[in-house]
Structure 1
């Protein structure tokens, strides 16, 4: 991957072009695909509430990492992560998450772009994309706690009533997310698994995406 090596050395050409229809459509479609994969990954852990509380976020970011990395390189525009996080927040709102999560995701995505992916050289480097996704993985885990910050008991009671969660789910939730030590541990696990997913994404881009002309 000569382009990636040049990007990591900072010698790859800089793309000064703005967003076009093609880039917007590609970013939105790949963002939606990434979120769907994250949902699917999370659902795979639901055979056990205890396992799901620890691993659902990690399963999602692990499976979705290669698509995110493909999107960053394919779109190659500043703000691609912000588009992804905005689409993520909007889709999450359709399944019951609160609209006040939207600013968290939009601002978080913009910060990730500024820190990790502000230049074309960085967007063409899988390591910078890995840094962005690994950081997003931790923020994604923390974002799931936003609805509970005001009144956790009241929110959980509402979730039980509206979504049909049983008492076993509630007990498992409080066991892990009512304990700061568990929250930190789960966040670190999620980030580590997101990082591993990026390593797989890096290998896939080398072996398959470039051959298929996706890059």
Structure 2
């Protein structure tokens, strides 16, 4: 039986590689969805959480240790820091801490706890768009314009995320997608990952 506290080099490599995979999935979805404002601002985060859920389940189940979620979220935050959105690093670290609290007592052995962890993460993931609008607008606008975003895109961003109706839909859609992705991840763990010897 594995020691649930002691990390190995293999655990570190697995966590980093799967984290890179999760971030690449997110970047690809963001790039594809950028062709349409509605897809980018309303659907992209939900689609990301849906498709990333099975990889997250695999990572947590395979490493079988505490702090996997925190490491993933910290690395994700560092990517945003490098891109110029410094405020997302402490935010995603906080999300990681919340996920760890949910999984703390051998949560990697419970599909229900992993589902709750990823569903909560999906809900909080909307902070990537809400934080700049509410607290760091000047930083975000400067970053957006320097990245080549058109003013029309920025105006659409403000319109969607300042509308109570659209905001409620986006948050609900993202959370539901995370939950559905978790159900898929749980089924894959039981039916495919274990049989294939991945776990």
Normalising by structure 1, report the TM-score: 0.84
How far off is 1:79 after superposition?
A: 1.1
2:107 is aligned with 1:109: no
CA change 1:163–1:117 in 2 (3 A) is: same
2:66 is aligned with 1:78: yes
Task: Tell me the equivalent position of 2:48.
Answer: 60
Q: In 1, distance between residues paired with 2:118 and 2:136? A: 30
CA contact (8 A) 2:42 2:170 kept: yes
How far off is 1:53 after superposition?
A: 0.8
- Within-5 A mapping of 1:4-153: 15-98=3-86, 100-114=87-101, 116-120=102-106, 122-150=107-135, 152=137
Q: Identify the range of structure 1 (62-71 vs 193-202) with the bigger mean alpha-carbon deviation.
A: 193-202
Q: In 2, distance between residues paired with 1:156 and 1:90? A: 16
Q: Could you say what secondary structure the match of 1:17 adopts?
A: coil
Q: Which has the larger radius of gyration?
A: 1
Q: In 1, distance between residues paired with 2:127 and 2:141? A: 20
Q: In 2, distance between residues paired with 1:107 and 1:160? A: 24
How far off is 1:21 after superposition?
A: 1.9
Task: Tell me the equivalent position of 2:155.
Answer: 171
Q: In 2, distance between residues paired with 1:49 and 1:93? A: 24
Name stretches of at least 5 consecutive residues in structure 2 with no aligned partner: none
Q: In 1, distance between residues paired with 2:140 and 2:8? A: 43
Q: 2:166 aligns with which of 182, 186, 210?
A: 182
Q: Could you say what secondary structure the match of 2:83 adopts?
A: coil
How far off is 1:49 after superposition?
A: 0.5
Name stretches of at least 5 consecutive residues in structure 1 with no aligned partner: 1-12
Runs of 4+ in 1 over 4 A off after TM superposition: none
